[in-house]
Amino acid sequence: MTVRWVTVPVAARVLRCPERTIRRLVQDQRVTSRRPSPRRTYVELEEVRRLVRPSVVEVSIAHLTGRR
């Protein structure tokens, strides 16, 4: 399993949940986050997925590119 660091908006799109949900997890320090620059917060996709969508087994990046 690769560790996928993605920005919050990307994670929200992949997991189909509101950005604020993920931002709240980051704020409450429920997920590991990385801030290489002050503008962007990166989160570890798998970790967020486990909290946001426990039922979904694997997240595909395919629908980010428009293909399903």
For the chain, give every domain's residue range. Answer: 5-57
Look at residue 68 and tell me whether its pLDDT is greater than 50. Answer: no
Look at residue 43 and tell me whether its pLDDT is greater than 80. Answer: yes
- Average of pLDDT values for 20-29? 89
Between residues 34 and 63, the one the model is more confident about:
34
Which long-range contacts link 39-45 to residues 24+ away (Cβ below 8 Å)? 40/7, 41/7, 41/8, 42/5, 42/6, 42/7, 42/8, 43/5, 43/6, 43/7, 43/8, 43/11, 44/3, 44/4, 44/5, 45/4, 45/5, 45/6, 45/11, 45/14
What band does 16 get if pLDDT is binned at 50, 70 and 90?
A: confident
- Average of pLDDT values for 8-15? 89
